[in-house]
Amino acid sequence: MIRVAIVAARIDPASLLAEVTSAGTGATTLFLGTVRDVNEGRPVTGIEYSAYTEMAHEELERIAQEAHARWDGVRIAVEHRVGVLTLQEVSVAIAVAHARRAPALDAQRYVIEQLKQRVPIWKCEHYLDGDRQWVDPSAHNVMALPDV
Amino acid sequence: MTQLQVLLFATYADAFGASAVTVTVPDAATVEDVLAALRVLPGGATLPARPVVAIDRRYSRGGSVAVRAGQEIALIPPVAGG
């Protein structure tokens, strides 16, 4: 069982847990990514996530299929949110269930690590001082925006 | 010559001031031809040496890959999901 989605509405982690859990699963994991208040030492007020929605959905589906092929029997539900999120809101939720804990934990780690490397989603941080910047994890820093 | 639309996101959309631009490339064009056409547009000078390109919503490997009209071509800035 696999379900992935790019969503604009608030994520309900409990619904993802309910989706992946079944009579045959003995281990269920839940990963939540949430908006934190400081990045690179700057106070953050919120993050605007944007996506190449169609490709993000397809790439997420490919990642989940890869995990499914590698860890037979895993049940996976993933939602990634787009739009403006405030502090502590959930940006991504990954629920994975399996008969045993090792495949569930390993598959979940695979999905989040691949998501961060491959899924075309971007975040623009809004700072307390009114500035905003696109985050570039590949450079371990942020790129300044042109004045608009 | 062929006209191709290129989708832009995040920093690239900001740099070009648009979420999509149209470029004119030779027939039998490659990804490298598309990038060359983009670099001469306003904002195009800010593109990195080898930006990531997706064709029909899959990552493309290398500048020599052929592109044709009707394909969905997109430039993918460094991703930051999660």
Confidence of residue A38 (pLDDT cuts 50, 70, 90): confident
| Whether residue A112 has pLDDT greater than 80 | yes
Task: Determine the pLDDT at residue B31.
Answer: 97
Task: Determine the pLDDT at residue A148.
Answer: 37
Do the bridges between strand A121-127 and strand A42-51 make them parallel or antiparallel, or are there none, so unpaired?
antiparallel
Confidence of residue A86 (pLDDT cuts 50, 70, 90): very high
Contact A50 B9 (CB under 8 A): yes
Q: Mean pLDDT throughout A96-122? A: 98
> Which residues 6+ apart lie within 8 Å of A8 measured at CB?
A81, A82, A83
Task: Determine the pLDDT at residue B26.
Answer: 94
Q: How many CB atoms lie within 10 A of CB B11?
A: 23
Most A CBs within 10 Å, among B7, B50, B59, B79, to test the A interface: B79
- Give B82→chain A minimum CA distance, Å: 6
List pLDDT tens digits, range B33-68.
999 999 999 999 999 999 999 999 999 988 899 999
Cα torsion at B17, B19, B24, B27 (round to 10°)?
Answer: 150
- Give A111→chain B minimum CA distance, Å: 11
| Whether residue A144 has pLDDT greater than 60 | no
Residues in chain A: 148
